[in-house]
Structure 1
Amino acid sequence: MSRVALVTGGQQGIGLGISRLLVDAGFQVALASRSGQDSPAVAAALSELDGAACYFQHDLSDVDHVPALLDEVTQALGPITAFVSNAGVGAPVRGDMLELSPENWDFVQNINLRGAFFLAQAVAKHMLAEAGEDYRSITFITSVSAAMVSTERAEYCVSKAGAAMMSQLFAARLAPHGIGVFELRPGIIATEMTAGVRDKYTSRIEGGLVPAQRWGDPKDVAEVVVAAATGQMRFATGASIPVDGGLSISRL
Structure 2
Amino acid sequence: MTRPVALITGARRGIGRAIAVSLAQAGYDIAFTDIVADAAVDETTAALEAEGAQSLFVAHDVAATESHAGVIDAVYARFGRLDCFVSNAGIGTPVRGDMLDLAPETFDHVLGVNLRGAAFLSQCVARAMLKREEGGRTIIFITSASTEMVSPDRADYCVSKAALSMWSKNLAMRLAPEGFVVFEVRPGIIRTDMTAVVAAKYDRRIAEGLVPAGRWGEPADVGRLVTGLVSGAFAFSTGSVFAVDGGLLVPRL
Residue 154 of structure 2: SS of its match in structure 1? helix
Is contact 2:206–2:216 with CA below 8 Å preserved after alignment?
A: yes
Paired residue type of 1:138? I
CA distance in 1, matches of 2:159, 2:197: 24
CA distance in 1, matches of 2:197, 2:112: 26
CA distances 1:194-219 after superposition (whole Å, capped 9, x unpaired): 22332322232133100000110111
User: Aligned residue for 1:156?
Assistant: 157
Is the Cα–Cα contact under 8 Å of residues 92 and 194 in structure 2 kept in the other structure? no
| Aligned residue type for 1:102 | P
Of 47, 52, 55, which residue of structure 1 is paired with 2:54? 52
For residues 25 and 117 of structure 2, the distance between their equivalents in structure 1, rounded to whole angstroms, comes to: 28
CA apart distance, 1:25: 0.5
Which position in structure 2 is the counterpart of 1:195?
Answer: 196
Q: Which residue in 2 is equivalent to 1:99?
A: 101
Equivalenced residue count is: 249
**Separation in 1 of the partners of 2:181 and 2:104?**
35
- For structure 1, the residue ranges without an aligned partner over 5 or more in a row are none
Q: TM-score, normalised by structure 1?
A: 0.96
What is aligned with 2:30?
A: 29
Q: Deviations over 1:155-177 (max 9, x none)?
A: 10000000000100110011111
2:132 corresponds to which of 120, 125, 130: 130
Q: Residue 217 of structure 1 aligns to which amino acid in structure 2? A: E
CA shift for structure 1 position 56: 0.6
> TM-score, normalised on structure 2?
0.95
Give matches, 1:166-205, under 5 Å: 166-205=167-206
Following superposition, the deviation at residue 140 of structure 1 comes to: 0.1
Distance 2:131 2:230 in 1: 19
Aligned-CA RMSD value = 1.1
Any conservation in 1 of the 2:32–2:58 contact (CA below 8 Å)?
A: yes
Q: What's the CA shift string for 1:59-88, capped at 9, x where partnerless? A: 011100011111111101221100000000
SS at match of 2:159: helix
User: One-letter code of the match for 2:87?
Assistant: S
Tell me if the contact between 2:7 and 2:82 (Cα under 8 Å) persists in the aligned partners: yes
How far did 1:223 drift? 1.2
> What residue ranges of structure 2 are gaps of 5+ in the alignment?
none
Q: What percent of counterpart residues are identical?
A: 47
Distance 1:146 1:26 in 2: 31
Partner-residue secondary structure (3-state), 1:209: coil
Counterpart-to-counterpart distance in 2, 1:228 and 1:248: 20
Farther off after superposition, 174-183 or 190-199: 190-199
Distance 1:170 1:141 in 2: 14
Q: Is the 8 Å Cα contact of residues 83 and 136 (structure 2) preserved in structure 1? A: yes
The 3-state SS of whatever aligns with 1:140 is: strand
Q: What residue identity is the alignment partner of 2:42?
A: A
